[in-house]
Structures are given as structure tokens and as C-alpha cells.
A = this chain, B = another copy of it.
Amino acid sequence: MDDRLFAEMDAIFHPRSMAAIGVKEDMGNQGMSFLLGYRNQGFTGPLYAIHPTRKLKEFDTYPSLLDVPGPVDMVKIALPARLVPGVIRDCGKKGVRSAVIFSSGFRESGTAAGAALEEELVASAREGGVRIIGPNCMGIYCPESGMSLRVDMPALKGGELSLISQSGGVSNSLVMAAAERGIGFAKAVSYGNESDLGPVEFLPYFADDPRTKVIAVYVEGTRRPEEFRRALAEAAAKKPVVALKGGTTAVGSRAVSSHTGALTGTGEVWKAVVRQAGAHWAEDLDELLDLCLLLSLSRPPAGRRVCLLTISGGFGVFATDQITRAGFEMPPLSAGTRERLAPFIDAPGSNLGNPIDMAAKFFQPQNYDSIFPVLRDDPNFDAYIMILANEYMAYLGKNLRSWSEFVVKALIPTLKKIGKPVYIVLMRTAGEDVRLDHERTLLAAGFPVFPTVARCLTALNRSIR
């Protein structure tokens, strides 16, 4: 990306002041939600509210953008569609650099009037030198600048994932689902109808953005397929990129046209484009997030030989079936490993095959340093999958939380000594609150955590291009 364009894009993620246009004090008003979101995120510049007649208590309010005394770098527009082109003309006059248009009722409406309105707003923007995000989108999330998609977005700073999403629902959902597990996003953008900016601009920007380690793209369709393909390939050459496509079936495609008005193309064509670009393909939101976590925290396995560690024989049986069906191998432990582990994995019900069933021995963290580092020296494996069924984590002791926290914390340094990727499956059984705590602890320590063996295997398979 050339320096001038990078700077222009970077400015969109770092505005010095923001005005929300169409702000009422009603519960659920979007303009208000944007302003409160920025305030909650700690946005440090001036925040202005624009409303022709009302005055807000919480924010400086002006009847029009042109009445704002200071400069305004970015606006968020939550007005009826027909009023938007006029406001965009004001933006040009005011020297606004970018406008996020939340309003819908443009091309995605499927009407000639909607399409004409969108053309009018794009022409106004070009004329005034304003870059457009949207319409029909949520816009930009950037915790480092204090920019939010809405009032209740998490303000987790320091995340390394960045997201480009055509859908506002998808961007909000992914950011919030990741935050629930303690994982932050560096930046996210929901771009809706792509009347101006879209993946073609955001992909190269994120590819050069030093704060972004992994890029996720959710796209429903584009009117710039060739440019999209090139941007995807160039970004994937620099960083891991995970792509998810909505509307891969005929009926889904019909749903797209009334959602963001985009041209879709078939799923197979998109999959081929993504693969040829060297990006990773995800089939749904869970896969997208799983894969981003795997690629940001760990690395894909170097080969397909898996060692499975469990604390329950039944789960071991299942997972073995699943691992085998997913195309991975489960070679036996080397003789040396068996010999060195035998004194430590010897409880009734435990098993030193592959899977290794640690059974009750799992609950003796004093032996971890005699067990896990041994696996480092076994040449038979490329990766380790460890299944922690949560109700076992809460098995012993009355103060279940402190006990299981002790075990999880003991696992971390010693699992790291294995020196090959360790993927953890924290099954959802009993004690969801406990599980979520453990998941956050393990993710923060750099271990990818999955709620099921199936999701772990899908992520592994998709991580190996």
C-alpha cells in the first residue's frame, strides 16, 4: 500500500474529533449509541451531537454540522436515507475526512430510488473529498483510538485480530464473542453496501498495520471482484487472512441482495479465489473465530501426527474416532516416552497408549513436570490435543473453583515445555462460569482453546492450507 493511501486510511482509524448526526435522547437511538460508545471507549477528542431542533444534556449539540465551531474529522450518520446526500455535501464543506453511514434504504432496498440515492451520496462524497464507510453499516471499532460500533462494545486494548465485515451484526457479534473470552480486536470495520471503501482498501491497510497480526474478512459479495482478489492475495502474502463468505447458496444469495445489495457469485468460485490467494477459508462464524485464535496464538501443526491427552477414557475413545476421521494420525508413543511416563501415569483406569488417559493422575500437578516435558522428546508427534472435561475439573474438593484454578495454572508453564503446538479442548459440561474462567486463563497464556474436539479439528484442518 502506498504511503499516501496508508496515511489516509490510518486517519480514518484515528480521527481527532467526531460528530454524530441524527442524535436523540431516546433509548436505542443510534446516534446516541455511537456517541456513548465513543465516550465509553475513552475517545479523547471532542464529540459533537447534531440535531436541528433538540439540545442534548450529555453532549455539545448543534443544529447542523456547519455550526460546529471546531474541525470535525469523522461523522456517523443515523438519519433517514433521503437526508443523507445533503449531509454528505455539508461534510465536504466542513472538511470532514470520512463518514460512517448507518442509515439503510439505499441500494440494498432493491428499489430504483434507493440506488439513485446511493449514487447521489457517492457523487457528493467524491465532490467534497469525503471517504464513505457504508451506507447500511456500523462503521469502525478501534479501541486504541476509543472508537466504538455502539454503546456497549468492549474496550479491550492490545488485541491483534482485525476484522473487515460486510455485516454489522457479524462484526458486533465477533468482537463481543472474542471479548467474552478475553481476546481483543485491534480494529474492526463493518462496511455494508461498499459504496466507497471496502475490503479492497481495508485489506492492504490491515496488512501494513503494525498492530494487526491476523486479518478476518466476512464478505457477502462485491462489485469489485478483481480488485478484491488482488487485495486478498497481497494481504495473505504478508499475514494470515481468514475469509468467510455469506450467501454461498442460491437462497442465501437471495438473502444477501436484500441485506447489502451485493453481487454474490457461487460459493465454489469464492472458495477457489480464497484458496488461490493463499488465505484460509472458514464456513461459519465459529470457524472464523477459532481459526483466528489458532493463527494468532499458536501455529498450525507441522504435520498430521497427533498425540491425544485425556482424563476420561470415554472422551478419549470418541476423540480418537473424530481425529482419525478428520484425517489425522495417532501413532503410538515411542518406547522411550512410555518408559519415562510409566511411573507417573499408573493410576487404575489410566492408559499409556495414544490416547494417553491420565485419569486421576491429572489431579496431581506435582507430577506435571515429570510428564509433559517428556513429550517434547517424542519424535512421533507434530501436535498435542488435550481434552479437559469441565466436570472433571470441578471434581475434587469443596472449593471447586480454587482447586481447578490451581490445576489450570500448574498446567501452563509445564505444557509450554512440550515445545510443539498444544491445542486445548475445554468441553462445555457442568460449571459454564468455571469453564469460561479457565478458558480465559488458557487463552491469555497463549493456548488456543476450543469447546469441542470437532471444532478443534476443523480449525487445525483449515489452518493447514
Contact = CB atoms under 8 A, between A and B. Distances in A.
Interface of A: 27-28, 80-81, 103-105, 136, 150, 152, 154, 165-170, 172-174, 176-177, 179-180, 218, 220, 246-252, 254-256, 258-260, 267, 284-286, 311-318, 320-325, 330, 348-349, 351, 353, 355, 357, 360, 363, 389, 391-392, 394-397, 400, 427-433, 436, 452-454
A334 B154 CA distance: 41
A177 B73 CA distance: 51
Contacts of A391: 172-173, 176-177
A462 to B, nearest CB: 15
Given A391-B176, A432-B180, A247 B28 contact: no
A71 B54 CA distance: 83
Contacts of A220: 314, 317
A315 B170 contact: yes
B169 A324 contact: no
A175 to B, nearest CB: 9
Nearest to A403: B27
A249 to B, nearest CB: 4
Contacts of A360: 28
Given A392-B169, A397-B27, A432 B427 contact: no
A325 B266 CA distance: 13
A173 B310 CA distance: 14
Contacts of A259: 313-314, 316-317, 351, 357
B317 A255 contact: yes
A278 B315 CA distance: 26
A355 B321 contact: no
B252 A324 contact: yes
A314 B249 contact: no
Nearest to A246: B317
Nearest to A249: B324
A318 B177 contact: no
A430 B180 contact: yes
Given A103-B348, A397-B27, A314 B363 contact: no
Nearest to A262: B317
A381 to B, nearest CB: 14
A180 B360 CA distance: 24
Nearest to A254: B353
A289 to B, nearest CB: 10
Contact of A173 (B355, B389, B454): B389
Given A177-B429, A180-B431, A252 B321 contact: yes
Contact of A169 (B104, B313, B348): B313
A194 to B, nearest CB: 14
